[in-house]
Chain A
């Protein structure tokens, strides 16, 4: 029996997950949101589209990604940990699942161009990659500060034929890149699709991106069944906007599995935030006493976001998933531990989930539990930063 048969289905017709979600955009963008919603519903029900999406992810994206049993890690911490290896997907993270879906949809809507926001550059690189494959023009908005911190990813996007626009407004990071992409979308909405990178923004984005990412959870559920593990006791994933978590939760939402989203302590929208409206959605946000959005702070640029996807806010409010925070120090230790024990260098984002398991094993995670960890991305992009931090301490 499923205790919660309705979790992670379609939102209401106005895009609400409980009290969260909806559409809060300038009127100029409403027709585009409605057009996108109709196009997505049509495409997602079309076996030809779904087949092409799956085929592209298989032949180009490297799916299915494997599930790896983390033997030495499990032994050390006394829990049985399986990692869903999104770090092995093309471009190095789960982001490819979403952009393959959205770029195919862009072509299907007859649009020739995509714009995207990016923080660390993972979603920007993935969008540039998928756009190159389909011959779509691509412009990526990136906070000026992030273009400096992630200069190599800027070059990657340029190699892939995209234009990167440094955003100089506000705090010059991810939230400002989203603002700027939204502003630009107003001016070019006729021929351009906004390829949003996470389960956030106005309806239908939170739902659509979750659907494109749900391949993670559905694959993992099947893989664990095939290897005789069955339904794990717990699924753990890091959360910024929350797309990798939404994707893996979707495979287990209607089981009794405990779902845990791990936020960066300095960007913990569920634990430290309050309800608000930003970037087209109602969700949990980190904001001042006056309702001004505050900057998130995290060692990982990918979790440096002051909000969270509205469906996560709902899953938290409904008690179906729990959201916890992990600080930068524990993340660094987890990254080194996993690298040494398993030969996997996780992205700093994914290392948040690893760190929480290390912290809670034998405490809120009973010994011997089976845990599915979403290894959302690989750490290659972070090694220079980690090296600088660790060397600075010697």
Chain B
């Protein structure tokens, strides 16, 4: 079992709901300070977005953040250099599109991520069917490969994805790209579908923008992921202190 999953299972055993904020690396010069602030505010793990020119799964907020980060010259190497040697106090999970790893070289990418302290990877456009090679190089570097499930996922795919995902299973409860909270979502059914096959932790994401929504989602799941709502505040000039209090507001709501 990958280190990340050992860690997140132990966290679940304490009864705490995991809180996982998402940051776009390189979006501001002080982005690592935002990450550190989020951990101070009560984050249990942090997603580090690696900017890609064509983010097919992302709504306008993450798109804008990616463009800003790219304009600032952000690359896998700059991100890993900035992370290397820093101790942020929570597991870091890279999230990006497959082309960046493919272009960098899969084995080289996994090694570079691991060397800079990253322990998991979410690649939303890498389907289970295409993932063998990536999973195998991640095995060499103790990087957990995290898969998504969606409301449209079929029974047979729920089983395969729940068996294959490592660290946690990312349950997208809405049929939408990031940042679009359309409709009620279907957390119960999606989360339960994973649990029928596996006892891997299940975290809910996509469209969670307020502490109240996080609390609702957490009724069914082991953790919640907050992305666009947080990135939006940073695009609008939030300081690391603002990020800390933003994350803390979610933490308090989840702990009540």
Contact = CB atoms under 8 A, between A and B. Distances in A.
A309 to B, nearest CB: 17
Interface of B is mostly: loop
A343 interface: no
Given A31-B157, A32-B152, A186-B177, A291 B182 contact: no
A187 B100 contact: no
B152 A24 contact: no
B99 A277 contact: yes
Given A169-B63, A182-B56, A26 B129 contact: no
B54 A27 contact: no
Given A24-B126, A179-B56, A291 B104 contact: yes
Interface in A168-224: 169-170, 175-176, 179, 182-183, 186-187, 189-190
Contacts of A279: 54, 56
A25 interface: yes
Interface residues of A, number: 38
Given A276-B99, A277-B99, A291-B103, A26 B75 contact: no
B54 A293 contact: yes
B256 interface: no
A278 interface: yes
Given A290-B75, A292-B53, A277 B102 contact: yes
A28 B127 contact: no
A70 B3 CA distance: 69
B144 to A, nearest CB: 17
A33 to B, nearest CB: 9
Interface string A22-41: 11111111111000000000
Contact of A291 (B55, B99, B161): B99
B116 to A, nearest CB: 16
Contacts of A106: none
B149 A22 contact: no
Interface in B105-127: 124-127
A118 interface: no
Interface string B29-69: 00000000000000000000000111111111001000100
Nearest to B152: A31
Contacts of A275: 102
B13 interface: no
Contacts of A22: 129-130
Interface string A273-310: 01111111010010100111110000000000000000
A25 B127 contact: yes
Contacts of A385: none
Contacts of B70: 292
B150 interface: yes
Given A24-B98, A287-B103, A292-B70, A280 B125 contact: yes
A58 interface: no
A339 interface: no
Contact of A293 (B53, B75, B102): B53
A27 B148 contact: yes
A23 B129 contact: yes
Contacts of B157: 27, 30-31
Contact of B127 (A24, A182, A292): A24
Contacts of B130: 14, 22-24
Interface string A62-81: 00000000000000000000
A30 B175 CA distance: 12
State which size class the interface on B falls in. 35 or more
B147 A27 contact: yes
B128 to A, nearest CB: 8
B180 interface: yes
A14 B154 contact: no
A26 B148 contact: yes
A26 B57 contact: yes
Contact of B125 (A26, A170, A274, A285): A26
B17 interface: no
Interface centre among A169, A189, A282, A294 (most CB of B within 10 A): A169
B182 A187 contact: yes
Nearest to B73: A290
Interface in A1-33: 14, 22-32
Contact of A277 (B98, B153, B182): B98
Interface in B123-152: 124-130, 147-152
Nearest to B109: A291
Nearest to B130: A22
A392 to B, nearest CB: 32
A269 B28 CA distance: 33
A293 B99 contact: yes
B83 interface: no
B238 interface: no
A215 B67 CA distance: 42
B75 A278 contact: no
A109 to B, nearest CB: 15
Contacts of B80: none
B176 interface: yes
Interface in A129-167: none
Given A27-B147, A186-B176, A190-B175, 10 more contacts: A27-B150, A28-B150, A28-B152, A31-B153, A170-B54, A170-B67, A187-B182, A290-B75, A290-B103, A292-B70
Interface of B: 52-60, 63, 67, 70, 75-76, 97-100, 102-104, 124-130, 147-154, 157, 161, 172, 175-177, 180, 182
Interface of A: 14, 22-32, 169-170, 175-176, 179, 182-183, 186-187, 189-190, 274-280, 282, 285, 287, 290-294
